[in-house]
């Protein structure tokens, strides 16, 4: 369903009226297209104190933007605050960004580079943790469709490990991601090796097979489409009842349709049979809702949501890892939700299942990397414009759209772009992360 309010505020009378009434002023978001793959303008690189990591300049140049130390209207600003280790050093953060933040172009990006708070130095830990509050607040105030993020690079590591992360955050692909903290791992899954090289940046998943569950429509179909765009051979999975729609999606993408109930006891075996050469990417997107307040929720409504959204994910992941179906260097990406972070009335079952996904990712990520050379991450969508949200009552739908820093709903492609970033061969340092794709929702952390 079209966002008529967003359209209204794009007109002169609409801007005048909504400003007079003090209503939100959403800015149209610029998303990735083949014709506009990069932000329009230079990248301003500034520092706070003495940098504590190497290779930042090289990593920034790999973003595709022109890097400069002076710019009147930058499309992006990157602040290297990895060397900030004291409360007094936070003054350098203010000094670096205060003079330039107003010059950021509409739809711009601010990325602060920090490092992991030290368990042994509480002054350094305080200063680095302060950057999180700073970035989350900055994301809520810069407006005009701009975003702000914090990327933590482990001490002693090179910024080279942040290459795929910076390319994503400093591009139109991250249009609906803001106020997020991404903590990179200190070693790649294969015992410290450098990130896997990408032979073709325009098709980084060439040669990899990706399986997407819940792929017939909505977010799952968008994920399958973006992974196919990036060169993957896609297997699109959904329940047999959605076969017709699933086959249309698969035909459109040149993908393979796999009608299968992911809760079936033999689901992992049938997935393995459909991918005889193994999977390079596994995306757990299938999910259901059976909303009702707990006092009115029968056991079957509870059990069905836990079974589809969580238990089937745990079971098939374990079996596919054990069988070696997910190949070394593979990527597992699961779909959580901000409901699993903030909770939601009438969704105790759904929120529990999605919080469980977050627990899975944080626990399995390090072990899957060590034992199988596989990373495990999750996306946590907020209000995304789908057929499901179009059926939500008007006032609740409008509240969902406006209660975030970008004052609008996201699109399925926004979630898909985040999944594709996790799936990148050179995203080896991105592991155990839960990325909210919610426009920095005012709900939750």
Q: By three-state DSSP, how is residue 89 classified?
A: coil
Q: Rounded to whole angstroms, how far apart are CA atoms 393 and 389?
A: 9
All residues at 6 or more sequence positions from 421 whose CB lies less than 8 Å from its CB, including other chains? 164, 165, 168, 173, 427, 430
Number of residues that make up the chain:
445
Where are any strands of DSSP class E within 122-176?
147-152
Strands (E) across 57-119 are located at 67-68, 76-80, 109-114
Q: Where are the beta strands (DSSP E) in 36-106?
A: 43-47, 67-68, 76-80
Residue closest to 264 by CA, chosen among 291, 285, 245, 237: 237
**Closest residue by Cα to residue 179 from 124, 154, 153, 142:** 142
Tokens found for residue 205: 């998943």
- Please, is 93 exposed, middle or buried when counting C-beta atoms within 10 Å of its C-beta (0-12, 13-18, 19+)? buried
Question: DSSP letter at 171?
Answer: S
- How many Å apart are CA 298 and CA 260, to the nearest integer? 26
Q: Which one, of 94, 91, 93, lies nearest residue 80 by Cα?
A: 93
User: Whose structure tokens read 């490092």?
Assistant: 115
Task: Based on the residue annotation, tell me whether 176 is a catalytic residue of this protein.
Answer: no
> Is 34 in a helix, a strand, or coil?
coil
Instruction: Using alpha carbons, select from 111, 190, 188, 92 the residue that is nearest to residue 152.
Output: 111
**How far is C-alpha 72 from the geometric centre of its chain's CA atoms?**
30
Single out the residue of 147, 158, 217, 220 nearest to residue 185, CA to CA. Answer: 158
Of these residues, 5, 350, 383, 422, which one is catalytic?
350
Q: Based on the number of CB atoms within 10 Å of its own CB, is 16 exposed (0-12), middle (13-18) or buried (19 or more)? A: exposed
Phi, psi of 400 (to 5 degrees): -60, -40
In sequence order, which ranges of 258-310 are alpha helices (DSSP H)?
267-274, 299-306
* Positions marked catalytic: 350
């Amino acid at each position: 369903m079209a966002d008529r309010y967003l359209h209204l505020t794009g007109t002169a009378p609409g801007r005048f009226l909504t400003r007079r009434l003090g209503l939100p002023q959403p800015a149209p978001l610029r998303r990735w297209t083949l014709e506009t793959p990069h932000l329009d303008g230079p990248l301003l690189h500034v520092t706070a104190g003495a940098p504590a990591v190497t290779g930042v300049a090289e990593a920034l140049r790999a973003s595709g933007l022109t890097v400069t130390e002076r710019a009147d209207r930058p499309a992006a600003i990157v602040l290297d605050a990895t060397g900030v280790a004291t409360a007094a050093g936070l003054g350098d953060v203010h000094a670096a960004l205060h003079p330039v933040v107003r010059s950021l172009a509409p739809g711009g990006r601010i990325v602060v580079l920090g490092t992991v708070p030290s368990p042994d130095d509480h002054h350094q830990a305080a200063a680095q943790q302060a950057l999180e509050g700073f970035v989350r607040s900055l994301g809520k105030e810069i407006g005009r469709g701009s975003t702000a993020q914090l990327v933590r690079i482990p001490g002693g590591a090179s910024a080279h490990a942040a290459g795929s992360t910076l390319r994503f955050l400093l591009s139109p692909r991250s249009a609906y991601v803001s106020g997020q903290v991404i903590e990179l791992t200190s070693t790649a899954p294969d015992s410290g090796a450098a990130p896997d090289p990408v032979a073709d940046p325009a098709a980084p998943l060439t040669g990899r097979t990706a399986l997407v569950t819940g792929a017939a429509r909505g977010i799952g179909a968008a994920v399958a489409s973006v992974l196919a765009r990036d060169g993957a051979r896609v297997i699109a999975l959904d329940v047999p009842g959605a076969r017709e729609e699933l086959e249309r999606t698969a035909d459109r993408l040149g993908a393979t349709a796999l009608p299968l109930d992911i809760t079936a006891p033999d689901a992992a075996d049938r997935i393995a049979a459909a991918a005889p050469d193994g999977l390079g990417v596994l995306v757990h997107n299938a999910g259901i809702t059976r909303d009702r307040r707990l006092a009115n929720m029968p056991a079957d409504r509870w059990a069905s949501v836990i079974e589809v959204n969580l238990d089937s994910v745990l079971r098939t992941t374990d079996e596919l890892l054990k069988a070696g179906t997910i190949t070394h260097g593979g990527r597992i990406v699961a779909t959580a939700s901000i409901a699993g972070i903030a909770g939601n009335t009438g969704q105790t079952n759904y929120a529990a299942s999605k919080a469980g996904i977050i627990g899975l990712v944080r626990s399995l990520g390090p072990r899957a990397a060590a034992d199988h050379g596989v990373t495990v991450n999750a996306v946590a969508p907020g209000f995304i414009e789908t057929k499901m949200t179009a059926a939500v009552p008007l006032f609740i739908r409008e509240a969902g759209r406006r209660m975030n820093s970008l004052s609008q709903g996201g699109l399925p492609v926004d979630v898909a772009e985040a999944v594709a970033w996790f799936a990148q061969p050179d995203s080896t340092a991105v592991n155990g992360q839960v990325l909210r794709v919610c426009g920095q929702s005012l709900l939750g952390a």
